[in-house]
A and B are shown apart, each in its own frame.
Chain A
Amino acid sequence: MAQPAPETPFGTQEAFHAAFAELYPRLVSYARRYGAVFPEDIAQESFVILMQREVPVEHPTAFLYGTVRTLSLTERRPMKNQNLSLEVVNEPGLAGGADDQVLNQEVRERMRMLSPTFREALWLFVVEGLSIREIADILDIPEATVKTRIHRAKAQLKDQLNPTGGVHVLV
């Protein structure tokens, strides 16, 4: 008689393995973008913290991203670079690995031109594919603020594509 599979934040054990296989490289990349020295450790620690919780979280993916963000910023804290927000995207040697498979040079240049605040929300929404609600959980801000940042990032991207002028409205 087969024993029931242990419950995980993502459901069955097979579902947890699938989620881990998809999310782990992304979380490592995400930690690396914050300049973490040991991004793999941070991603693994985030999974442990998630599974260690007695009360299950509503959005495990958002919880993982938020934990990685917090741990990465905490790791950087002794270097007094708390205000950095995905600033290391284009720094040589720091943004390699999985990032290069996702973004080409042109896209990275466009992202770099955005203000760090908008870039962070845009990155999570477009590249990581997270929902507005998840991003709000990760950044600990209201959903309306996330939408505003994404729309402003969109406006800045349009300005980049049409530098000579043109009028566009914020929708």
Chain B
Amino acid sequence: MSWSDPARRFEPAEDVQLRAELRDLLGLGPGRAPSEVEPTPELKALAEDLRREAQRRSRTQRKRPTWGLLAAAALPLLAALAGLGGWGVQQKHRADDLAAQTLRQEQELTRLVASHSTELAMERQAKAEVQQQLQLASRKGNRKNEPFLVIPVGAPLKVTGDDYQRVKQDPQH
């Protein structure tokens, strides 16, 4: 044959023998030598048509995008993703700061509430002690100690005729 294929040129002898055995088992008879098929004009024309078609397709075939082109196309997307990621990280830090600030305020409020409660309890206790002392003092003391003025009086006053004077008013003419 005028054309050759390296895979068949270097076929091992054992493979050739195996093929012969199999041909015998199938009843195909001895293997025919690779005859050189004389191409007919129709086959030649068809082969040339196919070759031209392959060349035409190679010329008009859209080239596959290269890695650089793909990277350039993906660059805006990557930039958007990076920006989004940065914004997300920033928002997370902000949220963490706000949470920490809220926690601090809550702790401060708790501390103030505890302090005021203590003061209130002390005031109540002081008031109770004062009242208790007042009660004790009122029990021990007499009426002089009462908080109103007492004026001692002598014999009661008699009402005499002179004590009052009827005043008649003359009718006015």
Residues in A neighbouring B38, C-beta threshold 8 A: 21
Please state if A157 and B3 are interface contacts (CB–CB under 8 Å): no
Contact pick for A18, options B3, B11, B15, CB 8 Å: B3
A residues 43-86 touching B (CB-CB < 8 Å): 44, 47-52, 54, 58-62
Please state if B43 and A126 are interface contacts (CB–CB under 8 Å): no
A residues 1-39 touching B (CB-CB < 8 Å): 6, 8, 10-11, 14-22, 24
Q: Is B97 an interface residue (CB 8 A)?
A: no
Q: Is B28 an interface residue (CB 8 A)?
A: yes
Interface of B is mostly: helix
Please state if A59 and B6 are interface contacts (CB–CB under 8 Å): yes
Residues in A neighbouring B78, C-beta threshold 8 A: none
Please state if B2 and A106 are interface contacts (CB–CB under 8 Å): no
With contact pairs A21-B37, A52-B58 given, residues A10 and B3 touching in the complex (Cβ less than 8 Å): yes
Please state if A110 and B26 are interface contacts (CB–CB under 8 Å): yes
Please state if B43 and A48 are interface contacts (CB–CB under 8 Å): no
Minimum C-beta distance from A31 to chain B (A): 15
Please state if A17 and B44 are interface contacts (CB–CB under 8 Å): yes
Q: Is B47 an interface residue (CB 8 A)?
A: yes
With contact pairs A126-B19, A133-B7, A154-B22 given, residues A18 and B28 touching in the complex (Cβ less than 8 Å): no
B residues 4-58 touching A (CB-CB < 8 Å): 4-8, 11, 15, 18-19, 21-23, 25-28, 31, 34, 36-40, 43-44, 46-47, 50-51, 53-55, 57-58
Contact pick for B51, options A16, A59, A122, CB 8 Å: A16
| A interface residue numbers (CB < 8 A to B) | 6, 8, 10-11, 14-22, 24, 44, 47-52, 54, 58-62, 103-104, 106-107, 110-111, 122, 125-127, 129-134, 150, 153-154, 157-158, 161
| B interface residue numbers (CB < 8 A to A) | 1-8, 11, 15, 18-19, 21-23, 25-28, 31, 34, 36-40, 43-44, 46-47, 50-51, 53-55, 57-58, 61
